[in-house]
Amino acid sequence: MNRKALITGAAAAALLTTCLLVPSFAFLSAKSPKVVNHFVSALIAVDLKETLVDPETGKKTGTKPEVYENTYLTVAGRTVDKDPTPIVMKNSTDCYIYVGVKNEYPDIFSIEDVNAEWTFVEDKDNKLEEGVTVYKYNAAVAKSDSDQQLSAVFEHVRISENFDGKFHGASETDSAIEARAFAVQSENTAAVSDGYAIDYFSSSEVFDKN
């Protein structure tokens, strides 16, 4: 009985102490405003367009990159205009820009006049399919509140004078050169971005779908 009374007394004393101390602490304490860190996921949006070209002459008829597709009559020895131009959309995170080009017939079509702002990326481990080349924009593209049009990767494609009028693939009459831009964040990737881009363009799916 005495033990029960002792426990009850102790509990009552603890309760009373709590009731007395908590309001006292309330007067003595203060708290700072709440700090909330909002983490918003970053994005990179990049587009790749070309200036419209006259199919018969292979010369530009447009004034700015605005189409995804051009058509050319293949004439041996002719040099045609082709200017794949990346556009980094506004508010994209700081990034490196790469453009991969798939040329099914490198012996017939040769890329000419690569602009000085672009550098050929060496495929040291031979990961890329035959005919695929990758170029890197020399500087990282900083975030901007407006779209940023970069310089064209190259300006012309030359058709070999040895072209005999037939392609030696699935189709004898048609061929295509495809290009796609790829962007990767520039923060903390300076040492690995080239390899990352090569890995990306080595995937067989990159040029299989739009």
Dihedral sign for Cα 55, 57, 63, 65, please: positive
Region from 1-9, 15-23, 28-36, 198-206 binding other proteins, contact rule CB under 8 A: 198-206
Report the distance separating Cα 185 and Cα 47, nearest Å.
Answer: 16
Report the distance separating Cα 29 and Cα 23, nearest Å.
Answer: 10
Classify the phi-psi angles of 165: left when phi > 0, otherwise alpha if psi is within -120 to 50, otherwise beta: left
- 6 Cβ contact partners less than 8 Å away, ≥ 6 residues apart: none
Binding other proteins by CB under 8 A: which of 19, 43, 116, 191?
43
Short-list 77, 79, 80, 103, CA closest to 162: 77
Are the CB atoms for 104 and 177 separated by under 8 Å? Answer: yes
Contact between 51 and other proteins per CB under 8 A = no
Report the distance separating Cα 25 and Cα 57, nearest Å.
Answer: 86
Binding other proteins by CB under 8 A: which of 134, 157, 194, 198?
157
Contact between 183 and other proteins per CB under 8 A = yes
In angstroms, give the least distance from the CB of 63 to other proteins: 14
Phi, psi of 193 (to 5 degrees): -65, -40
Binding other proteins by CB under 8 A: which of 71, 138, 139, 190?
71
Region from 14-22, 32-40, 113-121, 168-176 binding other proteins, contact rule CB under 8 A: 168-176
> 152: how many CB neighbours lie within 10 A of its CB?
22
Region from 10-18, 82-90, 115-123, 127-135 binding other proteins, contact rule CB under 8 A: 82-90
Region from 29-37, 116-124, 131-139, 181-189 binding other proteins, contact rule CB under 8 A: 181-189
Nearer to other proteins, 44 or 134 (CB): 44
Binding other proteins by CB under 8 A: which of 15, 16, 68, 112?
68
Give the residues lining the site for other proteins (CB under 8 A). Answer: 42-50, 52-53, 55-56, 66-74, 82, 84, 86-87, 89, 92-93, 95, 109, 157, 159, 165-167, 172-185, 189, 196, 200, 203, 205-207, 209-210
